[in-house]
Amino acid sequence: MSRRIEPLITEEQIKARVKELGKQISDDYRGKDLLLIGILKGSIPFLCSLMWEIDNEKLAMDFMDVSSYGSETESSGDVKILKDIDASIKGKNVLIVEDIVDTGRTMNKLLDMLKTREPASLKICTLLDKPSRRVCDVKVDYIGFEIENKFVAGFGLDDDQYMRQLKYVGEVIF
């Protein structure tokens, strides 16, 4: 089956929105330690761009690898933790950085797990949000862009591991 990609969010739009999010996060965490937890692999371009826009000398990062898709285009609902964070988050301000929040299943499981580790605060920042697809009640604190129910790739998001390198987000047309 042949696929093509139609641009949805441009590189310039992403850069401008990440700058705005960085300022908001800087203001919200001024004078506080902040740990960014990037969700591999899709969050890497967003996390790096965002990190450079956050004005906070007490900024650290860690990563988790979580899967609920496999090679499918729909979440299976079976959330697997493939790599956990390395350090304790007890008493720390934690911001989960994700490429997309869709059904909310993955984020719901992550929140439940991380809350048991007693962070001082626990919030979510996502590049893309698809609230129309929610099956779990998840509050996203910082949203880059709200999108309709489309299958997208680019800027870290993939189509079966391809297209992550694109500097924009596009809709995958099947």
Mean pLDDT check: name the lowest of 12-26, 57-71, 145-159. Answer: 57-71
The predicted model scores a pTM of 0.93
Domain boundaries, the chain: 10-153
Provide the pLDDT for residue 59: 97
Provide the pLDDT for residue 72: 54
SS (H, E, C) the chain: CCCEEEEEECHHHHHHHHHHHHHHHHHHCCCCCEEEEEEECCCHHHHHHHHHHCCCCCEEEEEEEEECCCCCCCCCCCCEEEECCCCCCCCCEEEEEEEEECCCHHHHHHHHHHHCCCCCEEEEEEEEECHHHCCCCCCCCEEEEECCCCCEEECCECECCECCCCCCEEEEEC
Provide the pLDDT for residue 153: 98
Provide the pLDDT for residue 68: 73
**Which tens digits make up the pLDDT trace of 110-164?**
999 999 999 999 999 999 999 999 999 999 999 999 999 999 999 999 999 999 9
Matching residue, tokens 């297209």: 163
Provide the pLDDT for residue 125: 98
CA 168/CA 12 separation, integer angstroms: 8
Residue 30, judged by CB atoms within 10 A of its CB (0-12, 13-18, 19+), counts as exposed
Task: Please list the active-site residues.
Answer: 102
Provide the pLDDT for residue 73: 56
Provide the pLDDT for residue 70: 54
Annotation: CATH topology of 10-153: Rossmann fold (3.40.50)
